[in-house]
Amino acid sequence: MHLELTDDPAAFLDAARDHLAADPVTTTVIATVTARFAAGDDSETPYRWWAVARGATGEVIGVGMRTAPFAPYPVYLLAMPDEAAVALARLLHERGEVVGGVNGALPAARVFAEETARLIGGTVIVDEHLRLFELGELVLPPAPAGRLRPAGRDDAELCLAWFRAFGSDAAEQAGREGEHSMEEFTLEMMLTRIDAGLVWLWEDEAGTPVHLTAANPPAYGVTRVGPVYTPKHHRGRGYASRAVAEVSQLFVDRGVRCCLFTDQANPTSNKIYEAVGYRPVVDMANLLVD
């Protein structure tokens, strides 16, 4: 087994393309983020690298990256042998790279975090338990009053506010203190998503937006739905269920598979998505190393 690190997203995609395409649901985050960088995203990040673990005959047996623009700038890992996760932790430690967290598939993320903690005399803390779901047979729930429509440029400020509110509200719903670590969106980024047709609003019968559902550009035939956000005073009316179902249907009609993440500590969201046909694929976690 040996590791390869690169700061070139295109080179990583060339090396890992078959590996990513073989299981495009579980590789969705790395695939979409890397594609964005390869297309010219010049967002400033403290760390920017991708890792490929290869087996004895040169085959790719695991991948990871570190591109997060938010503290603690976690490493993101997909499934890989324990020895690869340990080797990556040691490599980063040897080159003096401080790692405060790791997100991704279990058990690789946990093995990496535990080795990192051992090397620095620290501890591993579970920040969030996640579950990745894929859409099976879509079930359209009853439609509440109003309709789903694509967000327009005039909606950008509202959409940006709701993207930003999603993190803290999601943490509160899950019973956690503090804010959910996520990318800080700008108005320019929101306009790009809106122009790409990746943001939708549910508006009530009076034409007032009451809910947002977004999605990510498809990679290897899979889109990742989210964030899904309803302001507190509009919850409990079925907006999220119906909007996620309708957005999912749009992608299904294009021949695109759909997946999404849920916080395992939030039973409401898990119930909603399972009711419209999403089925669990793999458990993941966000871990902190302190």
**What span, in angstroms and rounded, lies between the C-alpha atoms of 192 and 244?**
21
Give the residue range(s) of CATH 3.40.630.30 domains in the chain.
135-282
Tell me, rounded to whole angstroms, the distance of Cα 65 from its chain centroid.
13
* Run of H or E including 86: helix 82-94
42: Cβ contacts below 8 Å, ≥ 6 apart:
none
CATH number of 2-122: 3.40.630
- How does pLDDT run along the chain (290 residues), one tens digit per residue? 999 999 999 999 999 999 999 999 999 999 999 999 999 988 889 999 999 999 999 999 999 999 999 999 999 999 999 999 999 999 999 999 999 999 999 999 999 999 999 999 999 999 999 999 999 999 999 999 999 999 999 999 999 999 999 977 765 655 555 555 556 789 999 999 999 999 999 999 999 999 999 999 999 999 999 999 999 999 999 999 999 999 999 999 999 999 999 998 888 888 899 999 999 999 999 999 99
> 65 has which bridge partners?
50, 76
Answer yes or no: pTM beyond 0.85.
yes
**Cα distance between residue 157 and residue 41, in whole Å:** 22
8 Å CB contact between 76 and 64? yes
Fold for the domain defined by 135-282: Aminopeptidase (3.40.630)
